[in-house]
Amino acid sequence: MKNFRNYTVNVDRFDPQVTTYKTRPLNVTPPTTHFFNTSDDVQLRLKRYKGGTKGPVILSHCTGVSSLMFAIDTIDVNLLEYLYNEGYDVWLLDYRLSIELPASQQLSTMDDVATKDYPAAVQTVCELAGVEKVQIVAHGVGASTLTMALLSGLENVSGAVCSQVSTHLYSVGINEFKAKLNAPTILRALGKKTMTSYTDINANFLTRAYDASLFFVPVPEHETCNSPVCHRISTIFGELYEHSQLNEDTHAALPRMFGRVNLSAMKQLTAILLNNKLIDANGDDTYLPHIDRLKLPMLFISGGNNDCVLSKSTQETIEMLADANGAEFYKRQEIGNYGHIDCIIGKDAARDVYPFILDLLESSQIQAVTKKESEKVKVDVAIDVKETA
């Protein structure tokens, strides 16, 4: 049974001036930071960590967070370090929904990320790295918008990992109920642009009263705690992680990772949930008629205990794509005892999840090189034939 005191008296509020959890230096060299603009003049950011000549690989975050989710310093090995140490040229992308960018304060849609942010990011990485193609690992809304980008015709991607979601989206009943309440539209009518999971010791009386009211939001007993940021995360997104997969320091650092979400993007996300498939911000079936554009190596990862995005979401995706394009392009991995974002920030994710990501990146890179060499041979043969004639 939930303890009301954990929402009122015993609340563990974040103090932005005091670090109460263990951190460590990252096991990577300092990055080079590159700011770039999209076609609609929104400034985005890439941080490059050149661990070797493999890749390059872009890591793309979810909504309400930033690329910090891939570089969090409260677990022994994060995904950035894991790929860096495997010899990859790693690029952390912060697109317009990133809480670290001013753009996240403005209204935008998932369509904007798909059709403007991804093309600009891929072009920038290709130009700066001097390559023709990139690989992408994306999580949550980052994975949905990556899929939308590819379905919209995004090119120069040789392989992709979609963590938790891609073409279809199913969730538990409480999340569907909250989606039907249409909170983003109501808040927009009240003049709001964003909602946030962030709060700290400086919260005023009304904010604290709101945090106390979240006691009435259903949460499994084994997932209860006294963090108001954690309570807000569950209210906005649903259960994003298994508490048992987060160490104490990562749980304490959630306020560093989570923040605002713009309401236009949330409105589209709730509409996608209610339709159980990708649709554009106008509600039109813009994307799925083009599933032939997803004929590339792809891995779909789902947490076996994910109540935010049920694992059947990626199961439906891989079945649809295999039927349409051939099963040889696709892999799916369900990770037992994991939820949603703990597949990235979990204390043992480097052991339980990251190897599957690496396997897709390694195999798709080999396929890309083999295909390029095969095409070169065909060109050389054609030239020889022409010269002989």
- Please give the DSSP secondary-structure letter assigned to residue 25: -
Domain enclosing residue 47, as ranges: 4-388
370 pLDDT tier (thresholds 50, 70, 90): low
| Mean pLDDT in residue range 349-378 | 79
Tokens found for residue 3? 């303890």
Number of domains in the chain: 1
Query: Rounded to an integer, what distance in angstroms lies between the CA atom of residue 62 and that of residue 305?
Result: 18
- Spell out the residues 6+ positions from residue 346 whose beta carbon is closer than 8 angstroms to its own: 75, 241, 242, 245, 246, 338, 352, 353
Answer yes or no: are the C-beta atoms of 54 and 1 closer than 8 Å: no
**Residue found by looking up tokens 């994710």 in the block:** 349
The closest of 330, 325, 295 to 150, measured between CA atoms, is 295
- The structure tokens listed for 297 are 């190596």
Contact indicator for 291, 320 with CB cutoff of 8 Å: yes
Contact 243, 223 (CB under 8 A): yes
Asked if residues 117 and 96 have their Cβ atoms less than 8 Å apart, the reply is yes
What's the CATH code of the domain at 52?
A: 3.40.50.1820
Q: Encode pLDDT of 254-264 as tens digits.
A: 999 999 999 99
Distance CA(122)–CA(324), nearest Å, equals: 26
Residues for the chain: how many in total? 389
How high does pLDDT run on average in the chain?
Answer: 94
Predicted local confidence at residue 37, as pLDDT: 98
Summarised one tens digit per residue, pLDDT across range 150-206 is: 999 999 999 999 999 999 999 999 999 999 999 999 999 999 999 999 999 999 999
pTM: 0.93
Tell me the percentage of the chain whose pLDDT exceeds 70.
94
pLDDT of residue 277 exceeding 90, the answer is yes
Query: Could you tell me the sign of the dihedral formed by the alpha carbons of 93, 99, 104, 108, in that order?
Result: positive
